[in-house]
Amino acid sequence: VNNRQSASADAQTPRRLDAVVVGAGFSGLYMLHRLRELGLSARVFEAGDGVGGTWYWNRYPGARCDSESYYYSYSFSDELQQEWRWSERYPGQPEIMNYLNHVADKFDLRPDIQLSTRIARAVFDATSDEWSVDTDGGERFSARFLITAVGCLSSANIPQIDGLDDFAGDWHHTGQWPHEGVDFRGKRVGVIGTGSTGIQAIPVIAEQAAHLTVFQRTANYSVPARNAPLDPAEENAYKADYAAIRRKQRESANCHPFDVSDTPALAVSDDERQTRYEASWERGSLRFRTVFKDLLTDEAANATASEFIRDKIRATVDDPQTAETLTPYDHPFATKRPPIDTHYFETYNRDNVSLVDVRRTPIEAMNAGGLRTSEAHYPLDALVFATGFDAMTGALLNIDIEGRDGQKLADKWAAGPRTYLGLQMAGFPNLFTITGPGSPSVLTNMPTSIEQHVDWISDCIDHMRNQGLTRIEASAQSEDRWVAHVNDAAEQTLLPKANSSWYLGANVPGKPRIFMPYAGGAAHYRQICEAVAANGYDGFVFK
């Protein structure tokens, strides 16, 4: 039965629900929809004052999805994918927000979403097999299932810079952007960070600011996005072909509906290789990774793609010194999440943009007037932290989660995350983590991975209900085996070669260095999950 009363429980009389879901982004919205279909009572708690998750928070200038709109969307409702109209090749942040709000309305989700509420603490009660969940507003709920839909990139990483509090200008992290926007006109602006976010924001901020100084620690590869309005004929073609597109996404390693070449990079002549890279460069998008089959597994193959992009940077940026600073040498292409851009490298040809290499001349401190590196002081009126996130584990560890026998998740994960399938942890019964560490998640187009997890979790809960089971928990052995497999899968690729990657936790000082997502491919992972379920949820213990 759907529970549509307003949350009125106090700490003495916990409201009982079948499931508590944390987060109202792509994951939480679909999870709620599926739980409702099962006839369960569920409530989504969302810290923001609207739905949208990552798209609610990331409103920085230029915020846009790097996946193409026709497939960065839900597939569970054909009516939804047929009726919704995307206006551009890549959806901008406001359009994705409109989409997710439309989903919330269309499936009447809002009555079971409690906004402006953080889950502060959750404790498993082994006598009732229920989670006791406390909100930051002092409400308490009890629920058989606790399902985190907190996203992989939601806990902002703001570097500790001495004197930041003294800075007289405004500063903002891109993932906590003010809803009213920020007016950079006439200002001397600094941006720290050249990941996907910085690379999207820098060209847009450069158009507004009087002067923009980019503080770069690690030079990055980027491929042009080639965004454009979505042609109605193209839109109709996608809509007519959705069954095949969705199948292709599910059968691929990254959940993008791309054809991956079956040719190794070194199997063709130098000219042929250049021609293929050039064609892909002109077409734009994350497809660049698929030009040859072995770009992520063979160093020599990868080197050809890396060098192609380095040449493009040198050819695009007028000033040779700036071009050299922008050219990445320390990691192979796509071993960090590859950005795509709109006029990123071209932006450094503007008179009002300058680049500072803070690997060579580290940031030392802020003061009222700006930022000081080991070499110079840069006067600033505003500073943007495009410095990324405490990825994959940060948002989960921000909740005080206590499992069976008083074990804290923070203690269990002190040396890095440990999960079974990225879905559950030994010692934490009835807790499911949508796109948790140890699942393909951030290595894929997220909505597809999210749907796979939500469907699996829903089926599992339905199975338990039908069997009269009250507890599911990953066994310690299955977790050990999975952690070893996640490490092996990463070692089969070049991904661990990027020392500064957030996939490894390297961007957050003191964070354990563990390759967190599952690199064995989303299609393979889906088969594993399906086999686990078909074999009576192999590796899980029920009660």
The residues that touch ligand N01, with contacts defined as CB under 6 A, are 64-66, 153, 159, 192-198, 200, 217-218, 337, 358, 363, 386-389, 442, 500, 502, 507
Amino acid at 239: K
- Phi/psi for 432 (5° steps) reads -115, 140
Shortest Å, Cβ 125 to ligand N01: 36
Cβ-based nearer residue to ligand N01, 428 or 515: 515
Shortest Å, Cβ 447 to ligand N01: 12
- Phi/psi for 309 (5° steps) reads -70, -40
Shortest Å, Cβ 53 to ligand N01: 12
Shortest Å, Cβ 5 to ligand N01: 37
Tell me how far apart the alpha carbons of residues 65 and 80 are, in angstroms, rounded to a whole number. 19
Shortest Å, Cβ 389 to ligand N01: 6
Q: Which of 263, 298, 266, 254 is nearest to 494 (CA)?
A: 298
Cβ-based nearer residue to ligand N01, 33 or 331: 331
Shortest Å, Cβ 502 to ligand N01: 4
Tell me how far apart the alpha carbons of residues 426 and 370 are, in angstroms, rounded to a whole number. 48
- Phi/psi for 439 (5° steps) reads -115, 165
Shortest Å, Cβ 159 to ligand N01: 3
Cβ-based nearer residue to ligand N01, 284 or 403: 284
Q: Which residues contact 124 (CB under 8 A, 6 or more apart)?
A: 130, 131, 132, 402, 403, 404, 428, 429, 430, 431
Cβ-based nearer residue to ligand N01, 159 or 264: 159
Cβ-based nearer residue to ligand N01, 217 or 418: 217
Cβ-based nearer residue to ligand N01, 427 or 436: 436
Shortest Å, Cβ 358 to ligand N01: 5
Q: Which of 27, 33, 9, 38 is nearest to 460 (CA)?
A: 38
Beta strands at 377-379 and 170-173: parallel, antiparallel or unpaired: unpaired
Amino acid at 107: F
Cβ-based nearer residue to ligand N01, 131 or 333: 333
Q: Which residues contact 443 (CB under 8 A, 6 or more apart)?
A: 254, 503, 517, 518, 519, 522
Which residue, chain included where needed, has tokens 């839900």? 74
Tell me how far apart the alpha carbons of residues 186 and 258 are, in angstroms, rounded to a whole number. 43
Quote the distance between the C-alpha of residue 307 and its chain's center. 27
Reduced to 3 states (helix: H, G, I; strand: E, B; else coil), residue 190 is strand
Cβ-based nearer residue to ligand N01, 29 or 386: 386
CB 432 within 8 A of CB 144: no
Cβ-based nearer residue to ligand N01, 265 or 363: 363
Shortest Å, Cβ 499 to ligand N01: 9
Q: Which of 386, 390, 389 is nearest to 215 (CA)?
A: 386
